[in-house]
Amino acid sequence: MRFRAELHCYHCGYVAARVEGEQGQPMTQARLISPAVGPGPRLRPGRPPRCGRCGGPLYLDEVEIIRYAPTVIVPLPPGRRRGRPPKALVSS
């Protein structure tokens, strides 16, 4: 199963990035997605990520499990059309 979470700053509350990955895999293999506007997280090898705005520590918040439902296509029976049935003919 896949998961998605946000990296929030303890000091300023800024959302520094979004993390996506597989459950059961190490966090080093997760994908880090920086925000479209504003600074991303400060990354240094061997150190935890820091906030790009104020340099504060980050924590994972709003963790959600992503479940994909199987797609099922149900064919219509032959000869039947979708929608409203035609009006009955009225003789005058």
Going residue by residue through the chain, which has 92 residues, state the pLDDT in tens, using 9 for 90 and above: 889 999 999 999 999 999 999 888 887 788 888 888 888 888 888 888 899 899 999 998 889 998 888 888 887 777 766 777 777 755 55
Predicted pLDDT of residue 92: 54
Q: How far apart are CA 80 and CA 74, in angstroms?
A: 14
Domain ranges, ordered by start, for the chain: 2-64
Looking at residue 43, what is its pLDDT?
A: 87
Residue 34, both tokens: 């920086």
CA 20 to chain centre: 8
Q: Which residue has the tokens 């990035």?
A: 17
Bridge partners of 14? none
Give residues with Cβ within 8 angstroms of 48, minimum separation 6: 57, 58
pLDDT at 68: 81
Q: What pLDDT score does 11 carry?
A: 93
pLDDT for 25 equals: 85
pLDDT of the residue at 80: 61
Residue 34: the pLDDT is 87
